[in-house]
Each structure stands twice: as structure tokens, then as C-alpha cells.
Amino acid sequence: MTTPGKPPRNPRPPRGPKPTAPKRKTRAAKTPSTAGRRAKYEFGAIPDDTFGSATDIPPPRSPEAPPLAQDQRFEYLLDNPDLYKAAAALPPPSDTGRPAHHPPVIYLIFLCSISLFGSARATACHLQRRLWWDMVRRSVHTHMGDAVADTLKPTGPSRSNWNHYFHKILKPAYEDIRDTSRDLWIQQALDHGMMEAAGKRNSRVNPERHQVLHGDATVASPPSSQTEHESVDERTGEIRRHRVDEDAGITVEGGDKLVYGNKFLSVGVRLADTPHSRVIMALESIRHRSVKDDPDRDAEGTAFVKMVTHILTRAPGLRAATYDTALRGVHRAPLIAEGLLVFTPQHSGLPPQSLQRYEKGPCTHDLYVAEARVCLRRITVDGQTHYTPLPVEELEYREGKRTRYYHRVTIPCAVSTHTVRIRVDETEEDRQIDPSTGRRRFNRTEHLRQIPPDTPAGRRLKGFRQDSESTHSRFDQCYPHKRVPVYGATAGLLVYIGFAWLNNSVTRARTGLITAS
């Protein structure tokens, strides 16, 4: 009920047709890459062959890694004997200028502890307390003797001590620290029994977990996301000044995600069904800008090839390496020639390629490469192109100056079943330049894979690469807001090296306990 002369509290709008908002233009939904590739041709069912069957039982999940306390990780770091060997690569204290206050090994421990405590400020705060500093003194006494331990000060480095040593000593010597750490980490992996020839005979299609490298690149965010040194507040006109990471840039991740930061590449290996057994063996800062803007760093694929090639000189038992689609045929070819099985997912948009024509007696078969494997090409009655994947009986391996790999495929025929061997590594003919196009005649390692991705064996190797994703995720989570607390690619790489030392120290301690039990 309402009072006369006053409008109702909640007046109702007059009845009538509801106003309609103007329709917004929407883009047509994108079709999946696989559907887009196969829209112009038909692709047959994947056969059961040496790469597995659709009825194969997937491998069981690995046991969950137990959590570790902060002080426990710190003890593992201090108990790593390789850490004190790496300290020998650090420049000695200078007789001129500002004194270092502490021996080089203390600053290496400080660098590794940044990933444990989250920042240099927090690390200095912890090492100023006797609870943590006494642990450092005891470890230095154990691994380096009384003479070095007696020279240590009552408390750890201050933030000022660290900043001076980091910028004046560590950063100029980062290449020596990187290379020394890499060689010690490779030896650690070998000491754990990784990258060695298997004790039992096993197929190259299914290498054991410790024989497979996993690699990936990540973009680490700097402390500030600002890209300009100055900005103007549009409302007040105030000029604000910002600190900018001069090395950072915008990179595309995951196909369409733009991220800002510095790009780093890591390569590691781990044991099967063993928690806390991952060993990071090599790290590098890589180029994410044009060659003109950053000529001193290698591109992602080139850096990965250099890393793996160096590891192969130390670990001849290595069988395979997994990576993402950033690795192209030009990068896979030299690693395959070294005897490695290189697995990556297939790029979208690669059209089928003519391979060869097989002729024997009255039989003629056109062989093509489609979806990373050898197929038989036919034209259906309705005019559609159909590719039938051929079963691979065996992935054959031949040693020589350049290692060769073959697919021994079976061609079904009404007259008789044919067997043919197809090279799946780069041949001499592939490298010849076609005078009509100015390009190589056939980019075989780009279109034809040693292990096709859409197979049980391919999915198994693809799962191994998730260890690299886990490594980068753990690295990001070490720091507040997932931002590496330093500016510059060189400083970021040093912090990542410290993270790797912490990770590998945990692996050394935990794997040793497991082996002893």
C-alpha cells in the first residue's frame, strides 16, 4: 500500500517489448590444428606395430615425492662436496679495492640460498643468525678444514657484502661458474647411474628413464614488469620513474601467450620411480630478441644442440632426448647423426610430402610422409586423398661415421606383402640443393620422425618432458610473486645456477639414502 501523492518505492517499468542490445560481432571459432591439417585429406587409423598398440596398458604413476623442510634442504646443500669444488672456479679475493670479507665459498652458498629463502635480503637476514650461520661454519670445517673455518666471521655476509661481491666478482665470472657447475652436475648424474647403458637389452623405441634427457626453455619474470623508464600519470601529470630490466623482452609461450622476462634453457635427467632424483645438468641464457639486438646469445634450438652435444661427450650411454616444438628438423638432424633418438611433438600445418615410389614386378606403390610417418597414398572413389599409415616392424640402428636410423615398414599388397627400409635420418641426397627452388631437396628430419608422436611410445617420451616443466615451475615458486629477484639475463642465470645446486644437492642426499636402504 502507498501513501497518496507519493510515488511507489519500487516503480515497475511499463510493460512492452524489452530493448535489445546491438549484436556484437564475434569471430568464427578456430578449428583445432589437427582438424585443420586433415581437412584436405583423410588419414587412416594408426596401426599396431613396434611403437605400441592401442590396447597397451599405460605405465603406472611414479610415487609422490615427500615434502622436505627448509632446514633439511639447507643441510643437503651444505653437505654437497661438489659445491666446495665449484668454489675453486670463483675468483680469489683481490688485494686492492674493497675486501670481500668472506671466502668465495660463502658467497656461492649465499647464491644457492637465494632460491631457498626467496631473496638476497632474506638470505642475509638468515645468515646473520647463529642458528643458520653455525650450520655453515660446521660444513666449511668438515669440507675445507680448520684453516678456512677459522677465518670465518661471527656472522654471515650482509646484504651490502653480497651486492658488492655479486656485481663485481660473480657476474664477470659467470661463464666459468656455469661451465664448472655443468661438468660437476654431469658427473653427479653418472655417479647416480644415469645416462649409462642399460644392464639388460632393451629396444631403442622404449629407452629407460635414466637414459632420456628432458629439456625446455622458460621465461623468468624480472622484479619489475615496467618496460619504460618513465611514465606519466594521465590524471595528475606526475612523472614516475621506473627501473627496467634492459635484457628482458616479450616472448610467446604456449603458442599464443605473451610473457615478459628473460629466457633460460635447462637440460636434466632423472631416475625412474624415484622421488627427488632429478639432476639439472646444464643451464643457459638464450636469445629471445632479434640477432641484431642480441648477437651474443644463441637461439633456443642452437643452444639445446650445443648442450646435448657436450653431454654426449661425457655420457656415451645416453639414448634419447625430448623437447617441445621449438626444436625443428635442422636441430634434430645433428643429434640423430650422433646416435641419439630425438623426440618432439609434430608441428601443425605440415603438408604431406612425396617420399618415393616403390616398384617390384607388377606392384607399384606411392609412399608419402604424413603425420610424421610413412604412408600409402590412394585416391578414393569420391576423389578424396587418403593416407594409410604403414606399420613399422622395427626401428633399426646402424653405427658409422654418421649414425643411421631406418623404419622397416610393411606394405600390404594384393600380390604379396612387401618389406622396405626407409631412412629416418638426414641423407646426403636430402642435403643437396634443388636448383629450381634454392632449398634442400627434402627436409626429412622435419617431416619424418624416428618415433611418431601419436603412438604409445611417443606419448611415453612426451610425458618424460614434463620434468622440465616441473623444474621451471619450482624455480618460479621459489620467489615472491614468481619474480626472480635480480635484473639482467646474466644475474638471472646465476640465480638459476644457484637453484640447480640446491636441487641437485637434494637429489644427491635423497638418492644416497634410498640406495643405502
DSSP state of 398: E
Residue 334: pLDDT over 60: yes
pLDDT digits (tens, 9 = 90+) for 124-153: 999 999 999 999 999 999 999 999 999 999
pLDDT band at 402 (very low <50, low <70, confident <90, very high): confident
pLDDT of residue 515: 40
Dihedral angle sign, alpha carbons of residues 198, 199, 201, 206: negative
Question: pLDDT above 70 covers what percent of the chain?
Answer: 90
- SS3 (DSSP) at 240: strand
pTM of the model: 0.88
For residues 303, 308, 314, 318, the Cα torsion angle rounded to the nearest 10 degrees is 170
DSSP state of 168: I
Residue 37: pLDDT over 60: no
pLDDT digits (tens, 9 = 90+) for 72-129: 999 999 999 999 999 988 987 777 778 778 999 999 999 999 999 999 999 999 999 9
Output the nine-digit C-alpha cell for 380: 578414393
Count CA within 13 A, CB hemisphere, residue 237. Answer: 0
* Segment of 277-281, 378-382, 401-405 carrying the highest mean pLDDT: 277-281
pLDDT of residue 429: 87
pLDDT band at 219 (very low <50, low <70, confident <90, very high): very high
Output the nine-digit C-alpha cell for 198: 642399460
CA angle 278, 199, 403 (to 5 degrees): 85
> What are residue 262's phi and psi, to 5 degrees?
-105, 145
- Rounded average pLDDT over 227-250: 91
pLDDT of residue 411: 93
Question: pLDDT above 90 covers what percent of the chain?
Answer: 70
Output the nine-digit C-alpha cell for 470: 616441473
Average pLDDT of the chain to the nearest whole number: 88
Residue 232: pLDDT over 80: yes
> What are residue 298's phi and psi, to 5 degrees?
-85, 155
Spans of all domains in the chain: 70-173, 193-347+456-496, 350-447
Of the candidates 107, 79, 81, the one whose C-alpha atom is nearest the C-alpha of residue 93 is 107
Residue 168: pLDDT over 90: yes
Residues 6+ apart with CB under 8 A from 414: none
Does residue 246 contact residue 171 with C-beta atoms inside 8 Å? no
- Rounded average pLDDT over 298-318: 95
* Cell 511507489 sits on residue: 8
Distance of alpha carbon 211 from the chain centroid? 16
Helix (H), strand (E) at residue 290: none
Output the nine-digit C-alpha cell for 418: 612387401
DSSP state of 87: G
